[in-house]
Structure 1
Amino acid sequence: MHNFLPIAYFRNQFVPFGEANLSIATHALHYGTGAFGGLRGIPDPQNDQQFLLFRLDAHCKRLSNSAKFLHYDLPADKIQQILVDFVKKNRPTTSFYIRPFVYTSDLGIAPRLHNIEKDFFVYGLELGDYLSPEGVSCRISSWYRQEDRSLPLRGKISGAYITSSLAKTEAVESGFDEAILMNSQGKVSEASGMNIFVVRNGKIITPGFDQDILEGITRDSVLTIARDLGIEVIERSLDKSELFAADEVFLSGTAAKITPVQRVENYHLSTERPITEKLREKLTAITENRDPKYQDWVFPIAV
């Protein structure tokens, strides 16, 4: 059961969540012509009159860039102001997740992006741990990650998530928590909605952008934190066998945060995860605004 925040932004105004409804003829519903973002926020643990959003500027910029693939000009600063107002109106009492969404709002039936109405809405929900913080089991999916030559993978295009949905359900129905998708070259790409990292011999290895991955904001945060901690980071293609031989494997994403992997297929990984835990502790401190080095990653909203 989802606990949705009471106020949504819909058709250029704030309305009760239950009144933000779309027609069944909405173009984006039929053709996947939408793009979304997702960002986390918390009530400030040190100030009960303030909320903290993690990397708000990066999320707004990515959504604005995603909107361009839909031929929709939606400036990042406009998105940011709406999200700030959204938090002020809802005043969540616990950890929460915000979902902004741009889409073709027309009621036409032709698959196109030209001469068609676009719009933007925002809703949110209370959200604790998306995946178990104790760790997850993963299977190698029979579904492959799309290629950028067929879908603009630099954007979070809603239609692309049919593959994620197929892979996630396949994993869960076969007894696993999560799926790992390979790309068309047979290399590791990402999980159903998260980036993936391998730790071997004290170094972090993760697929680069040339492996058809999403440009994850949490991924970028993890890489920056690791380098600042003096941990060597290597971005390159990653073979399936490296998952089985890894010292540690973890996933990252806005919803998942940093989640360790306990098992890949029938290969059990070590329960000792010093690098994963170090990164997770650091990221938690940053999101709670307890690390002055990364204060520019945290956007405070006073109410």
Structure 2
Amino acid sequence: MHQFLPYAWFGGCCVPFHESTISVATHALHYGTGAFGGMRALPNPTDPSEILLFRADRHVRRLSQSARLLLTDLSEITIFNAIVALLKANRPSSPAYLRPFLYTSDLGIAPRLHDIETDFLIYGIELGDYLSPDGVNCRISSWTRQEDRSLPLRGKISGAYITSSLAKTEAVKSGFDEALLMNSRGKLSEASGMNLFLVRDNVLITPGVDQDILEGITRSSVIELAKSMGLTIVERPIDKTELFIADEVFLTGTAAKITPVRRVESTTLRTERPIMSQLKERLTAITEGRDPSYEHWVTRIRLDPLN
């Protein structure tokens, strides 16, 4: 069961979570006409009156751009100010995951994006590890990742996640933890909600943005960190068989952080993951505000003192 934060941002202000309800006739509920984001909020381990947000600017920018793909204007400052208000209202004392959501709130029945009302909400849940830090077992999904010519994959459009949902359930019901999806060209794209990396001969490889992936913020952060550490990074198409002979395979995402892959189909992978371990250690230090060289990746929200 999820432990929701007590307050949500709804109707332009913070309200008790149980009051943040929508009509059963809401357009987005029926047609998937929404866009969402995901952001981790971490109480500062050394100062509980401060909340740390990882790359908040990138997260609010992506949601604002996703809104534009739905022909809606939602400014970055509007998103950010609502997140700050939500954090100050909830004062989370443990790691939390925030879910901002732009959606068509109209009660009409026609599938459309013109002449329609939209709204914006945020809620949060307490969240530690989304996937096991010890690693996950993956299968190649029978479902194919959508193409950008059929859906705007540069945004986190809610309707697109039916494929992720089908793939995830197929994986779990067949004895695995996670699914890896291939694109329509037969190349690996991403997991159900994470980006994919592998290591071969000390080279870090990941599908490029031309492989119908979501342009993940953790993904781009890992690439930048790897470059700063002197690693060779290649963005290119990846064949399925490369997974079975890779030295390391791991997934990245806001919820998943950096998660190793232990097994793909019936092939057990190596347990030594020196490159992933270095990247994970560095990213953890940054998100916890312990790396001054990447302080610009951390937004610090000071909570108001209690009366």
Give the shorter-chain TM-score range.
over 0.9
| Cα drift, residue 13 of structure 1 | 1.4
| Cα drift, residue 78 of structure 1 | 1.2
| Cα drift, residue 35 of structure 1 | 0.3
Q: Is the 8 A contact 2:48 2:93 kept in 1?
A: no
Q: Which residue of 2 aligns with 1:235?
A: 235
- 1:247 correspondence with 2:212: no
CA separation in 1, counterparts of 2:134 and 2:72?
41
CA separation in 2, counterparts of 1:19 and 1:85?
17
CA separation in 2, counterparts of 1:114 and 1:58?
27
- 1:280 correspondence with 2:283: no
Q: Which residue of 1 aligns with 2:77?
A: 77
Letter in 2 for 1:35: A
| Cα drift, residue 295 of structure 1 | 0.4
CA separation in 2, counterparts of 1:48 and 1:179?
37
CA separation in 1, counterparts of 2:248 and 2:284?
19
Q: Which residue of 2 aligns with 1:130?
A: 130
CA offsets per residue over residues 2-48 of structure 1, 9 Å max, x none? 00000001111110000000100000000000000000011101212
CA separation in 1, counterparts of 2:265 and 2:282?
29
| Cα drift, residue 178 of structure 1 | 0.1
What is the root-mean-square deviation in Å for CA atoms of aligned residues? 0.5
CA offsets per residue over residues 187-209 of structure 1, 9 Å max, x none? 00000000000100011000000
| Cα drift, residue 113 of structure 1 | 0.3
Structure 2: gaps (5+ residues): none
CA offsets per residue over residues 48-67 of structure 1, 9 Å max, x none? 21110111000000000000
Structure 1: gaps (5+ residues): none
Q: Which residue of 1 aligns with 2:5?
A: 5
Q: Secondary structure at the match of 2:146?
A: coil
Q: Which residue of 2 aligns with 1:184?
A: 184
Q: Which residue of 2 aligns with 1:59?
A: 59
Aligned counterparts, 1:208-223, within 5 A: 208-223=208-223
CA separation in 2, counterparts of 1:88 and 1:24?
30
CA separation in 1, counterparts of 2:212 and 2:269?
26
Give the TM-score taking structure 1 as reference length.
Answer: 0.99
CA offsets per residue over residues 235-281 of structure 1, 9 Å max, x none? 00000011111000000000000000000001110000001111111
Q: Which residue of 2 aligns with 1:297?
A: 297
Aligned counterparts, 1:266-277, within 5 A: 266-277=266-277
Q: Which residue of 2 aligns with 1:20?
A: 20
CA separation in 2, counterparts of 1:140 and 1:48?
42
Letter in 1 for 2:287: T
CA separation in 1, counterparts of 2:300 and 2:209?
31
CA separation in 2, counterparts of 1:267 and 1:176?
12
CA offsets per residue over residues 89-143 of structure 1, 9 Å max, x none? 1000101100000000000000000000000000001000000000000000000
Q: Secondary structure at the match of 2:190?
A: strand
Q: Which residue of 2 aligns with 1:175?
A: 175
- 1:105 correspondence with 2:92: no
Q: Which residue of 1 aligns with 2:163?
A: 163
Give the TM-score taking structure 2 as reference length.
Answer: 0.98
Q: Which residue of 1 aligns with 2:200?
A: 200
Alignment size in residue pairs: 303
Query: Percent of aligned positions with the same letter in both sequences?
Result: 66
CA separation in 2, counterparts of 1:293 and 1:240?
37
| Cα drift, residue 213 of structure 1 | 0.1
Letter in 2 for 1:209: V
CA separation in 2, counterparts of 1:135 and 1:223?
20
Letter in 2 for 1:288: E
CA separation in 2, counterparts of 1:178 and 1:214?
17
Q: Which residue of 2 aligns with 1:258?
A: 258
